[in-house]
Structure 1
């Protein structure tokens, strides 16, 4: 088990600026492509810049793209987000397609996912002022001084009659009425007359 999480900032997962409730706002503000003009490890970065950078800039006008050549250094992608976070990615010996995939990944992130140790998996901006629920929350005040077992509390509740019980009761009433008017034969004769 590593202790690298001890040095990360801790916080809560949050949707930036309530993103997704209205229109979507891309959280990537600027991306910097650092590379060497001669070094072999920067070949993929140079290929991406020559072939795909202009198309990427046209498709994403809200993202500022900087190209920074540096001598004898490894290629690097630096992404800066709206919340002020920076993501640094080493692209040594990466191909053109790998770099475009990394840029797409950086474009869809919000900047705080990889550099934040989560304290909880959920968070609310408006916590309840009522506090947590307890079993004693909605109890009657008379029940506080009650001694148990108690006959007053153990009486059956006034529960409405179920549909099955109501049908059984109606059947018994009809049976009694039929017995009073001449039995089952009297009920059948009445039905035939109607």
Structure 2
């Protein structure tokens, strides 16, 4: 255990809000863009405000955006989440595209991931030496050298559709009923 993790508050790994099970609720509540009107390091943030801020606000109506001009200070983005957590980002000499990417990252985060040492509710004395399971764990290694698309591995086989099978069953029933009528006469 490093000294860094000793200073962080501990939290168990769980998701009490079940965000995304019924519907997704954006956890980002408020964004404060702090910038200087004259300082050169704030140029990217000022360009973002002039060109892309309205689009960001329209696409994210649940996020409140505040602009806070400050004299002789570096640009900062402050993100506040529904759980009360805040994140600060110094965006000194960032371009407007970098700021847009950071705002999209803040929008998709929950705000509580950074600064918490996550503990699991279970413990094992003998961890697995095989590593975690993935969908590719038990796949044959010969698939690594196959040229795709491959007809042998293709999922599109010549199978009858459900409609064709129903038509065949109908034809069989019609033939059987004709045979019964002939034998009955």
TM-score (norm 2): 0.62
Residue 90 of structure 2 corresponds to 90
1:60 shift after superposition: 0.5
Residue 71 of structure 1 corresponds to 71
1:79 shift after superposition: 0.5
Aligned positions of 1:44-83 closer than 5 A: 44-83=44-83
More helix by share: 1
| Structure 2 Cα separation of the partners of residues 106 and 44 of structure 1 | 18
TM-score (norm 1): 0.60
1:14 shift after superposition: 2.8
SS in 1 for 2:23: coil
| Structure 1 Cα separation of the partners of residues 16 and 86 of structure 2 | 15
| Structure 2 Cα separation of the partners of residues 82 and 47 of structure 1 | 28
Gap runs ≥5 in structure 1? 124-194
| Structure 1 Cα separation of the partners of residues 23 and 55 of structure 2 | 24
1:20 shift after superposition: 1.2
SS in 2 for 1:106: helix
SS in 2 for 1:18: coil
Residue 141 of structure 1 corresponds to none
| Contact 1:29 1:63 survives alignment (8 Å) | yes
SS in 2 for 1:49: helix
Aligned positions of 1:98-113 closer than 5 A: 98-113=98-113
1:39-98 Cα shifts (integer Å, max 9, x gaps):
000000000000000000011000000000011111111000011100111101111110
| Structure 2 Cα separation of the partners of residues 60 and 14 of structure 1 | 27
| Contact 1:10 1:116 survives alignment (8 Å) | yes
Gap runs ≥5 in structure 2? 123-185
Q: Tell me: CA distance 1:62–1:4, structure 2 relative to 1, closer, same or farther (3 Å).
A: same
1:135-162 Cα shifts (integer Å, max 9, x gaps):
xxxxxxxxxxxxxxxxxxxxxxxxxxxx
Residue 10 of structure 2 corresponds to 10
Residue 38 of structure 2 corresponds to 38
| Structure 2 Cα separation of the partners of residues 38 and 14 of structure 1 | 45
| Structure 2 Cα separation of the partners of residues 118 and 82 of structure 1 | 20
| Structure 2 Cα separation of the partners of residues 26 and 72 of structure 1 | 33
| Structure 1 Cα separation of the partners of residues 44 and 16 of structure 2 | 33
Larger radius of gyration between Structure 1 and Structure 2: 1
Residue 176 of structure 1 corresponds to none
